[in-house]
Amino acid sequence: MPKNELTGRIQTVVGTIDPSELGVTHTHEHLLIDFLRSFQMPEEASERAWVDAKLSMDRLGGARRFPYFLHVMRLLDVDEAIREVLKYKYAGGNSLMDTTTWGLGRDPLALARISRATGLNIIMGSGYYVPISHPADMDTKSEQSITDEIIRDITVGVGDTGVRSGFIGELGNFWPTDQNTIKSLEASAHAAMETGAVVLIHPGFDPDSPPAIIETLTGAGLDPSRIIMGHLELLPTNFAWLKDLAQSGCYLEWDIFGWEDTKAIIPLISDVERMENIEYAISEGFGDKILVGSDVCTKTQYTKYGGKGYAHILENIVPRMRKRGFTEESIQSILVDNPKNAVTFV
């Protein structure tokens, strides 16, 4: 599909739609994902006992503390995904961006089945996740070959499925970065400029990472307004840092709503703190750059296992936003207008 046919449209896994059809949208979710490529066997014998264990009530308490719990790290069941994401649909959700990338079990045909079964607009990503999940030949891949791979995903489809990606990401980064990650970022920037797609970033867990990523992407020619900086709640920052990031022109994404377990291996702020950060961004004039999601990517986030699920923002956070004084205009921007502007091809 040529760029001129995508401009002004949004590309879902079952075809393109007019931006007016997008509606309420989470911009960072996973319907199916397999973190096996990111798995590292723990050294300690007692922790190894968790690796192949099934998720059960007596293990829920430690499930987030042990990043080696394979049953938690894999969402592979289409029917289970449909049951879980339908709760988002019933709560008023219309669309979502599925940010599962190469090496994480991305399944275009299954996403299309989920879309048809639920009536949700599902927009699929493209590109490479963090270095530990890169293919064995990543060192020898050229930047141009990666650019071509992404462009093909968007304009032709994944493999012979005919299912096309609608954005680039989530592009995974560690900190400090490495040459393969820089190569991936620059290739993605070129693919974004060629197709008009937006780029969604998983930053390294350091406040120096997002500015460096933006510098790499814009240095390759990408307009910062075509960058979504995700996982902001994973970074130890302050309002001054946040204002500096917002002034770059990128989208600001708080996308792990509902996950605030103090035992998590990576420290997480609370939903209250997420809302405080968003309030600050709005007060500084960046209300048109805010995006949200729940980043459901583990079984412990499923409602079936006691998690808050895909509907948490709509069922719990939006009512709390109203009580805190968020205007309906701001809520509309966060849930509808900003995602529409971000994911529409330019």
Choose among 79, 93, 77: nearest CA to 310: 93
Do 278 and 290 touch, CB atoms closer than 8 A? yes
Token pair of 69 as six digits = 């719990």
Range of the domain at 100: 15-343
Is residue 4 in some structural domain? Answer: no
Token pair of 273 as six digits = 């703190």
Token pair of 99 as six digits = 């940010």
pLDDT at residue 48 tops 90: no
pLDDT at residue 51 tops 90: no
Is residue 172 in some structural domain? Answer: yes
Is residue 255 in some structural domain? Answer: yes
pLDDT at residue 59 tops 90: no
State how far the Cα of 207 lies from the Cα of 214, in Å rounded to an integer. Answer: 12
pLDDT, one tens digit per residue, over 253-262 is: 999 999 986 6
Give a three-class secondary structure readout of 244-280: HHHHCCCEEEECCCCCCCCCCCCCCCCHHHHHHHHHH
pLDDT, position 154: 98
pLDDT at residue 210 tops 80: yes
Element (H, E) at 29: strand 25-29
pLDDT at residue 306 tops 70: yes
Rounded mean pLDDT, 209-213: 98
Rounded mean pLDDT, 32-58: 85
State how far the Cα of 319 lies from the Cα of 61, in Å rounded to an integer. Answer: 28
pLDDT, one tens digit per residue, over 239-250 is: 999 999 999 999
Percentage of the chain with pLDDT > 90? Answer: 83
Rounded mean pLDDT, 109-120: 98
User: Which is higher by pLDDT, 53 or 308?
Assistant: 308
User: Which is higher by pLDDT, 71 or 100?
Assistant: 100
State how far the Cα of 135 lies from the Cα of 132, in Å rounded to an integer. Answer: 9
Looking at the DSSP bridge assignments, the partners of residue 17 are: 10
Is residue 31 in some structural domain? Answer: yes
State how far the Cα of 131 lies from the Cα of 126, in Å rounded to an integer. Answer: 15
pLDDT, position 97: 99
Rounded mean pLDDT, 12-20: 98
Is residue 9 in some structural domain? Answer: no
Do 125 and 168 touch, CB atoms closer than 8 A? yes
pTM for the predicted model, two decimal places? 0.96
Token pair of 4 as six digits = 């001129």
Is residue 212 in some structural domain? Answer: yes
> Does a cis peptide bond (omega within 30 degrees of 0) precede residue 42?
no
Domain count, the chain: 1
CATH of the domain at 334: 3.20.20.140
Do 27 and 190 touch, CB atoms closer than 8 A? no
Is residue 259 in some structural domain? Answer: yes
